[in-house]
Structure 1
Amino acid sequence: MIGDGALENVEAIFAVHVSHEHPTGIIGSRPGPLLAGCGFFRAVFSGRKGLAGSPHHSVDPILAASAAVISLQGIVSRESNPLDSQVVSVTSFNGGNNLDMIPETVVIGGTFRAFSNASFYNLLQRIEEVIVEQANVFRCWATVDFFEKESTIYPPTVNDDRMYEHVKKVATDLLGPPNFRLVPPMMGAEDFSFYSQVVPAAFYYIGVRNETLGSTHTGHSPYFMIDEDVLPIGAAVHATIAERYLNEQG
């Protein structure tokens, strides 16, 4: 959409997302980084297949991949500033299915997150280095795919200070100061981040949590539902954000 000119002559952009963490109608946001940049990786370790009873005749990719999984945990815990939140998580590990054979290949995969582009791309570089070098230690070789051609790398979602203050003022004017919350950054990711890199932006949450109705589950849960009482509140806040911005800039 950006490449097709959707943001040409756009001065500001706002987005709202429901949140099961906040009671119905509560607005939450923060200035600066709100959501992390997100990427995924898939690594293939290649060795030489062989009988498990004669491991010296094989080159074991399971051992190499296992060492890489452990070593990847050191990137955040030993190389990153503790005050600069980052995540590297290995979420899949697939090798052979024959209990008497060392497989020829092992595939691992996972995700990584950071709140700045510098930290994010440092993670990407170090993930590849750790995987490739750990494979070499165990006489294997490895390739790493970050799915960049599929556009699965999401930059951090960063709220412009002025746009954040605009959202906060509208929300507090309409709903009262107790119904606006400064929320902490989250390691989730959002494709709205691409817009926030191009024009001043603000992304905010509106609560849908209602324990009486059972509206307590994340939007990624099969049990997700919303308290529909939020709909007129969200519509009014979002429309007023746009209307007041246009009036103030006009």
Structure 2
Amino acid sequence: MAERIKELSKQTAKVFGADAAVTIEEGYPVLVNHKESTAIFEKISQDIIGGKQVKANHPPLMGCEDFAYYAEQIPGMFWFLGIRPPEAKDYPHNHHAKFDFNDDAVTIGIEMHCEIARRFASLWGK
């Protein structure tokens, strides 16, 4: 992809009688969830939250996350805790000026984290 961007930039510049220099700085690594960890998480979330509320196989996002560095070294998976109130059709993202944390999500988030820790700890003990 980087080479294609460089090539297109140079060709576009040439059409207009100019030169183009492209420098692409590598950023965060791609965050890839560990397959087996994700399967365990999906089971936990189904057990705690239930089918309709669990959104598995979320489409890829173009954001970046520090957790990607951990996931390169050890098996892991990244997940989102949805906090939009059920009656809301849309909800401001966490960096939006109108964002308001839904306190009702805290209980589910704590329960999920505790159960994830408990089940993974039992797997490591085998």
Q: TM-score, normalised by structure 2?
A: 0.81
Aligned pair in 2 of structure 1 residues 134, 240: CA closer, same or farther (>3 Å)? same
Relative to its length, the structure with more strand (as a share) is 1
Structure 1 match to 2:116: 241
Instruction: Indicate the residue corresponding to 1:128 in structure 2.
Output: 6
What corresponds to 2:22 in structure 1? Answer: 144
Aligned to 1:63: none
Check the 8 A contact 1:206/1:234 in 2, yes or no: yes
| Inter-partner Cα distance in structure 2 for 1:140 and 1:225 | 49
Cα gap change, 1:186 to 1:128, in 2 (>3 Å): same
Q: Which has the higher contact order (CA 8 A, sep 6+)?
A: 1
Q: Answer with 1 or 2: which has the greater Rg.
A: 1
Residue type of the alignment partner of 1:228: D
1:164 and 2:38 aligned: yes
Give the Cα separation in 2 of the matches to 1:213 and 1:130: 43
Gaps of 5+ in 1: 1-122
Q: Which position in structure 2 is the counterpart of 1:229?
A: 104
| 1:205 aligns with one of 75, 80, 84 | 80
Within-5 A mapping of 1:37-56: none
- CA distance in structure 1 between the aligned counterparts of 2:90 and 2:13, rounded to whole angstroms: 47
- Conservation of the 8 A alpha-carbon contact between 1:160 and 1:202: yes
Structure holding more helix per residue: 2
Matched positions, count: 124
TM-score (ref. length: structure 1): 0.44
CA distance in 2: counterparts of 1:156 and 1:185, whole angstroms: 14
Could you list the structure 1 runs, at least 4 aligned residues long, displaced by more than 6 angstroms after superposition: none
- Give CA deviations for 1:135-168 in whole Å, capped at 9, x if unaligned: 23332112223234xxxx2333211110001111
Q: Distance in 2 between matches of 1:212 and 1:170?
A: 25
Percent same amino acid at aligned positions?
A: 27
- Secondary structure of the corresponding residue to residue 218 of structure 1: coil
Offset at residue 213 of structure 1 (A): 7.8
Mapped partners of 1:225, 1:212: distance in 2: 15
Q: Which runs of 5+ in 2 are unaligned?
A: none
Structure 1 residues 138, 176: CA separation in 2 closer, same or farther (over 3 Å shift)? closer
- Relative to structure 1, is the Cα distance of residues 182 and 244 closer, same or farther in structure 2, using a 3 angstrom cutoff? same
Structure 2 distance, partners of 1:126, 1:173, is 45
CA-based RMSD of the aligned residues comes to 2.3
Of 183, 188, 211, 2:62 maps to 188
